[in-house]
């Protein structure tokens, strides 16, 4: 049903999806519109993989909590940093689930940001997880997953690979998207 609906609204899935997508830290980029969540949820449902996605804890106020939590939202305190906070909460979900994807938008906002947050990288590195590269390309109306990238001892090199992947993806609102300028 989801695949049919996705097709009706004019989107397609890139079939070149790595097997690691079933257990990974899944970057969601570019992220410039609330519509991104709608299309990504279709993708997750079509791929039939258990998932959670991070979202600011402010979205868990009534009445939004009635929608966001059942859709797989995981509240993130954007003021709480470090492994003992948000990253540990996400790591615990991997410990309790064999097949599981954690969707994270490293831009952390729909607005222009020239430096990405790196929690996704630390989560993957410290828990021996691959990073898969989820994307929505509004130019081609294609949703897909690239990668994987296994974090190494050279974060800069790994981040450059990630930026190279996303530089060809077109967001809904191009003026609101930037790759992480430290790695391009």
Determine which helix (DSSP H) or strand (DSSP E) holds 123, and give its type and residue range.
helix 119-126
Quick: pLDDT tens for 146-170: 999 999 999 999 999 999 999 999 9
Nearest CA to 171 among 102, 85, 111, 83? 111
Hey, which of 22-36, 92-106, 139-153 has the most confident mean pLDDT? 139-153
How many Cβ atoms from other residues are within 10 Å of residue 87's Cβ? Answer: 19
- pLDDT value, residue 118: 87
- pLDDT over threshold 90, residue 85: no
Residue 77: strand, helix, or coil: coil
Q: To the nearest whole number, what is the mean pLDDT of the chain?
A: 87
- pLDDT value, residue 13: 93
Per-residue pLDDT, averaged over 58-77, amounts to 84
CA distance 19 to 129: 13
Quick: pLDDT tens for 106-156: 876 666 778 888 889 998 998 999 999 999 999 999 999 999 999 999 999
How many Cβ atoms from other residues are within 10 Å of residue 175's Cβ? Answer: 9
- pLDDT value, residue 108: 62
Look up residue 11 and give its two tokens. 């989107």
- Domains of the chain with bracketed CATH: 2-183 (3.40.35)
Residue 52: strand, helix, or coil: strand
CA distance 60 to 46: 25
- pLDDT value, residue 110: 65
Look up residue 47 and give its two tokens. 């791929």
- pLDDT over threshold 60, residue 83: no
Provide the percentage of residues in the chain whose pLDDT is more than 70. Answer: 93
For 1-52, give the DSSP string: -HHHHHHHTT-EE-S---GGGGEEEEEE----STHHHHHHHHHHHHHT--EE
Residue 85: strand, helix, or coil: helix
Q: Given the DSSP bridges, would you call strands 131-137 and 142-149 parallel, antiparallel or unpaired?
A: antiparallel
- pLDDT value, residue 150: 97
Residue whose tokens read 């952390």: 108
| pLDDT-based confidence at residue 175 (cuts at 50, 70, 90) | very high
- pLDDT value, residue 137: 96
CA distance 142 to 170: 10
pTM: 0.85
């Amino acid at each position: 049903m989801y695949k049919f609906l996705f097709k009706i609204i004019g989107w397609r899935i890139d079939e070149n999806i790595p097997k690691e997508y079933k257990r990974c830290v899944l970057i969601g980029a570019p992220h410039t519109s609330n519509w991104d969540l709608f299309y990504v949820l279709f993708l997750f449902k079509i791929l039939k993989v258990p998932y959670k996605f991070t979202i600011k804890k402010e979205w868990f106020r009534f009445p939004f909590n009635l929608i966001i939590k059942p859709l797989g939202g995981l509240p993130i305190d954007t003021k709480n940093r470090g492994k003992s906070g948000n990253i540990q909460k996400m790591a615990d979900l991997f410990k309790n689930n064999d097949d599981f994807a954690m969707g994270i938008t490293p831009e952390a906002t729909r607005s222009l940001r020239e430096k990405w947050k790196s929690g996704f990288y630390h989560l993957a590195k410290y828990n021996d997880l691959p990073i898969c590269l989820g994307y929505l390309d509004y130019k081609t109306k294609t949703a897909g997953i690239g990668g994987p990238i296994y974090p190494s001892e050279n974060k800069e090199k790994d981040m450059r690979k990630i930026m190279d992947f996303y530089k060809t993806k077109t967001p809904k609102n191009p003026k609101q998207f930037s790759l992480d300028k430290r790695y391009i």
